Each structure stands twice: as structure tokens, then as C-alpha cells.
Amino acid sequence: MDYIINKSETIYTSTKKAINGTNSMRFFGVRFITIWVLPLAITGIFMEYLFISPITGRVPF
């Protein structure tokens, strides 16, 4: 039984391919933004609204 994952990248494999010139850097694409950047941004805004706003007395929006 073979377990094959297509189009999976790690930081090591994407930089290795980019340095060799065989492939372009694909790590900071749409997938990276949807998995890491947007959830962290939403969490930061939520934490700002819940914890920092009441302490400073300012309305964030």
C-alpha cells in the first residue's frame, strides 16, 4: 500500500528546488496565506477587541 501526497511542500523542499533553479518558490502562495496569515490576523483582531480595547478604553472599530 503506497501513500502518495501530491503537491506537498515543506520549507526545505521548496527552497531546495528554488535554489537549484528547477522550480519557482511556491511556499508563500495562496495556500500559505489561507493557512497561516488569515487565521493569525483574525485571532489578533479578536484578541484586540476582547482584551486590549477594554484596558485602553478605545473602541477599535
Task: Please report the pLDDT score of residue 27 as a whole number.
Answer: 56
Residue 18 confidence (pLDDT): 67
Residue pair 29/23 in contact by the 8 Å Cβ criterion: no
Q: Give residue 19's pLDDT.
A: 75
Is this model's pTM higher than 0.75 or not?
no
| Cα(33)–Cα(51) distance, integer angstroms | 25
Is residue 60 within 8 Å of residue 53, measured between CB atoms? yes
Render pLDDT for 1-50 as a digit per residue (tens, 0 to 9).
565 666 666 667 666 766 776 666 555 667 777 878 889 999 999 999 99
Give the pLDDT score at 34.
80
CB 4 within 8 A of CB 11: no
Q: What confidence score (pLDDT) does residue 43 get?
A: 95
